Amino acid sequence: MKTQLKTLTFIVSFFFFLSLSAQTDWVTIKIEGEGYRVDFPSQPKKQTNTIPSQIGDLEMKFYILDNSFNPNDDNLVYMSAFTAYPEEYMSNEDPGFKDTVLDGAVNGAVTNVNGKLLSKENIFFNGFPGRTAKIEIQGSTIINQKIVLVDNLLYICQIICMADKDDNKSMKAFFDSFDLIKVKK
């Protein structure tokens, strides 16, 4: 009986420490000048793209991790993005203007992937307005988004996964790691 208990204790301890070591391998991306931090399961690639919009071209900075070839991860792609709208554009006094910007970001994502919006929720993150959204692509792939608008700064965290892997542990860790930090002007 004592031998079985020791063996069971060893197995439980082994898997506990294994799960802790798997979480510590994550890489923290902290971009003070852009005002946010987020953890990725491994080092993402940085990209900058010019995005055409109704108010002119906007520069969007991305951190993308393509994990589609990693059989040990439930998610295909992890992404964080940041863009700064012109301050004069965001100075609109209309109380519904920020909702229009946030809803436009969600609707733009749905349109860009020819997807189907499964859910959208209004959120407040650290006192700032935002959205969470779930978008289905071709019935088998899901995009989960968290979007936050801080004055003229738009932050997006996004994960793409297969539908049967939705709402997994790594997804939760990624979204929970996102935080706003002081923006240096």
Q: Quick: pLDDT tens for 127-156.
A: 999 999 999 999 899 999 999 999 999 999
* pLDDT tens figures, 10-44: 443 344 334 434 445 899 999 878 899 999 999 99
177 confidence band (pLDDT: 50, 70, 90):
very high
Residue 93 region by backbone torsions, left for phi larger than 0, else alpha for psi between -120 and 50, else beta? alpha
The pLDDT, as a whole number, for residue 24 is: 53
Instruction: Please tell me the total number of residues recorded for the chain in this structure.
Output: 185
The pTM for the full model equals 0.82
Band (pLDDT 50/70/90 cuts) for residue 123 is: very high
pLDDT in tens, 59-110: 999 999 999 999 899 999 999 999 999 888 888 778 789 999 999 999 999 9
Domains and CATH numbers, the chain: 27-180 (3.40.1000.10)
Span 45-59, pLDDT tens digits:
999 999 888 888 999
Pull the structure tokens for residue 19.
């799960």
Element (H or E) spanning 37, and its range?
strand 36-40
State the chain's maximal CA–CA distance in angstroms.
73
